[in-house]
A and B are shown apart, each in its own frame.
Chain A
């Protein structure tokens, strides 16, 4: 049973446009959400996070939106740059931050920024 779902295995966006990556979750106990970015042959790197008490968090070109009623979050990248091409993982945890339960990850979305 997949508790964190990223339904788009890949997404292609033109440079300069907005990239929107989506993530759905099923576990109501999740209260902290994170996005990680992964380049080939490297470990994932933290991008941005959001607590369930918020519905938006912004950091430069990256904004994460959380819709608790729909159990849905999205990552917006504006404007998209070639260096943004990577696999993006959505992750969730229950119990303040990373918690003792580990993070539950989605399967990832491969974002391709086209020049």
Chain B
């Protein structure tokens, strides 16, 4: 079974631009979550989608948004990029069971100049 796939793996943007990151979950997983990892803050929860609906959202500004498609693939978008948005963005999927184990992709490394 293929794992969680994230694209692109690396990208460089400048301040003020916007970026869209893509995530394909493990086949059969309907829940997709996004996390931001920075050296100082560790992994921080951005949002979770389940069956095309945002189920919960972390404490991030409205510049961070996401969506999920009917095939469970998800995208997240960051508008008006700031230097502080430079981070590793991780997508994770899980099935609908109660155990809560998340399966992470390798991440998209965003650098904002």
Residues of A within 8 A of B (CB): 32, 34, 36, 41-46, 49, 89, 91, 93, 96-108
Instruction: Give the residue of A34, A41, A43, A101 whose beta carbon is less than 8 angstroms from that of B4.
Output: A43
Instruction: Give the residue of A96, A106, A107 whose beta carbon is less than 8 angstroms from that of B100.
Output: A96
Say whether, besides A44-B90, A100-B56, A101-B56, A106 and B42 are in contact (CB < 8 Å).
Answer: yes
B28 sits at the interface (CB 8 A): no
B25 sits at the interface (CB 8 A): no
Residues from chain B with a CB closer than 8 A to the CB of A89 are: 42-43
How far is the CB of B39 from the nearest CB of chain A, in Å? 9
B58 sits at the interface (CB 8 A): yes
Counted as pairs of residues, one from A and one from B, with CB atoms less than 8 Å apart, the total is 73
Residue in B4, B42, B97, B98 with the greatest tally of chain A CB atoms within 10 Å: B42
Total interface residues on B, CB under 8 Å, equals 30
CB nearest neighbor in A for B105: A43
B90 touches A43 (CB 8 A): yes
Residues from chain A with a CB closer than 8 A to the CB of B70 are: none
Residue in B33, B48, B101 with the greatest tally of chain A CB atoms within 10 Å: B101
Cα–Cα, bound, A19→B43 (Å): 23
How far is the CB of B47 from the nearest CB of chain A, in Å? 8
New A-B pairs, 10, CB < 8 Å, besides A98-B100, A107-B42: A32-B100, A43-B92, A96-B98, A97-B97, A98-B102, A100-B55, A102-B33, A102-B47, A103-B43, A106-B42
Residues from chain A with a CB closer than 8 A to the CB of B47 are: 102
